Amino acid sequence: MKAIVWTGRNSVEVQNVPDPAMLNARDAIVRVTSTAICGSDLHLVDGYIPTVKKGDILGHEFMGEVVEVGPGVRNLRPGDRVVVPFPIACGACFACEAELYSLCENSNPNAGMAEKLMGHSPAGIFGYSHMLGGYPGGQAEYVRVPFADVGPIKIEDDLPDDKVLFLSDIFPTGFMGAEMCDIKPGQTIAIWGAGPVGQLAAASAFLLGADRVIVIDRFPYRLKRAQRTGAEVLDYEEVNVLDALRDMTGGRGPDACIDAVGMEAHHPTPAMYAYDRGKQAARLETERPYALREAIMACRNGGVVSVIGVYGGFIDKFPMGTVMNRSLTLRAGQCHVQRYMRPLLDRIRAGEIDPSFVISHRMPLSEAPRGFELFKNKQDDCNKVVLMT
């Protein structure tokens, strides 16, 4: 089968690889119909997530048709149309019972590796490094889906792929980012990053009752898309974000701040950017946490900072004094997608939201390397690439 394979820093290729085979009784094989490139895939491609190996198949946002199920899968049958959540979860452990699916205690066969870096291991994730399981990803014609009786959600009506594909990751991720803000009527939510996750977080914040949403980025085409959700926008290369947010919120700051940027943020001041960029290149820190630092500084006293941007390791100059003295609540996590799929599918079906508004490019799977180029370099106003097989 054809698959998108990581072949080194900044290099992905379409390769022919063996078809997947069953490894566990609760596996299913899914023929992928649509898959997408995620912003977090760029962290892998750029080489900032440890334990990615040459030959790894990328991709964790995908849906398709079940072609084979193992003897332990009773709720799916060949021919079923499913969206697959990106975290792999067993459904039976302490974490899964608490609906913390991205922390499943059983789905990472390489938990020992993750423990060394993070203390304890989170769940395995499709196509997201060996530390997180060594599972082949969904940017391929076929994927083995472990614990297929727990994760995948059946799409039984004729909703097109475009509308439901993002239930696999970015819609629940954006939604959880907003949910972690504990939004109350009248509140203002600021979101760093106007990529697809930031846009969906903005839309979700409104769904959850936010009064105002302010999205911060530097690419006009992304800010324009964010504006379509009803959000106000700030270009951090044009204005001082802290001052602007203060002005917009009566001097108090946003009630909650969402970091939808993660480890490869940018800074408008070259010297500041060079400082963390240099340290990251020298592997003295793994992140460039400008967005997170700013979100913490901007948040109102006693507010919530919700982190859904991906981080991999260690941060320098973390404003802990601000978090502590101003009673901020820091919440974070890889999305517990399984928890949100059903309710968000219902919202899509009810017409409350159509997450396909983020899509800017559609192309065949075989053109994925071009898709990565466009997405990474923000060419052609690239916002979200969907690959079709």
Partner 1 sequence: MTDRFARALGWTSLALGTAQLAAPRAVTRLCGVDDAPGAKTITRLVGGRELLHGALLLGGKTPAQWTWTRMAGDAMDLGLLGKAAAARTGFRRRRALFAFGAVAGIAALDATCAGLRTRKARSPLQVRASITINKPRAEVYRFWRDLENLPTFMTHLESVRTLGGGRSRWRAKGPVVDLEWEAEIIDERAGDLIAWRSVPGRGVRNAGLVSFTDGPAGRGTVVDVSLEYGMRGRKLAAAVARMLGEHPEQQVRDDLRRFKQVMETGEVVRSEGSPEGHRALRQLHQHPAQPIGARA
Distances (CA, A) of 248 to 179, 188, 333: 22, 9, 28
From the CB of 149, what's the least distance to partner 1, in Å?
Answer: 10
- In the bound state with partner 1, the residue whose beta carbon lies nearer, of 112 and 220, is 112
Alpha-carbon distance 347 to 343, whole Å? 6
Let me know: does 199 contact 182? Beta carbons within 8 Å: no
- Residue at token pair 């009673």: 327
From the CB of 173, what's the least distance to partner 1, in Å?
Answer: 22
From the CB of 129, what's the least distance to partner 1, in Å?
Answer: 8
- In the bound state with partner 1, the residue whose beta carbon lies nearer, of 109 and 369, is 109
- In the bound state with partner 1, the residue whose beta carbon lies nearer, of 134 and 355, is 134
Three-state secondary-structure class, residue 199: helix
Distance of CA 187 to the CA centre of its chain: 24
From the CB of 58, what's the least distance to partner 1, in Å?
Answer: 9
From the CB of 176, what's the least distance to partner 1, in Å?
Answer: 24
For residue 337, the surrounding DSSP H or E stretch is: helix 337-349
Cα dihedral sign, 13-15-20-23: negative
Let me know: does 124 contact 107? Beta carbons within 8 Å: yes
From the CB of 28, what's the least distance to partner 1, in Å?
Answer: 14
From the CB of 271, what's the least distance to partner 1, in Å?
Answer: 35
- Residues contacting 281, CB < 8 A, separation 6+: none
Please state at what angle helix 170-179 crosses helix 337-349, rounded to 10 degrees.
100
From the CB of 307, what's the least distance to partner 1, in Å?
Answer: 26
Three-state secondary-structure class, residue 65: strand
- In the bound state with partner 1, the residue whose beta carbon lies nearer, of 93 and 323, is 93
- In the bound state with partner 1, the residue whose beta carbon lies nearer, of 15 and 227, is 15
From the CB of 255, what's the least distance to partner 1, in Å?
Answer: 34
Let me know: does 194 contact 222? Beta carbons within 8 Å: yes
Q: What are phi and psi of 135, to 5 degrees?
A: -95, 135
Cα dihedral sign, 363-218-171-335: positive
Which contacts (CB < 8 Å, 24+ apart) does range 217-225 have? 217/192, 217/193, 218/266, 218/268, 219/194, 219/378, 221/381, 221/383, 222/194, 222/195, 222/198, 222/383, 223/194, 225/194, 225/199, 225/357, 225/358, 225/383
- In the bound state with partner 1, the residue whose beta carbon lies nearer, of 1 and 248, is 1
Residues forming contacts to partner 1 in the complex (CB under 8 A) are 3, 5, 17-21, 23-26, 51, 53-57, 72, 90, 92-94, 97, 105-107, 109-113, 124, 127, 130, 133-137, 144, 146-147
- In the bound state with partner 1, the residue whose beta carbon lies nearer, of 18 and 351, is 18
- In the bound state with partner 1, the residue whose beta carbon lies nearer, of 4 and 386, is 4
Alpha-carbon distance 218 to 225, whole Å? 12
- In the bound state with partner 1, the residue whose beta carbon lies nearer, of 134 and 198, is 134
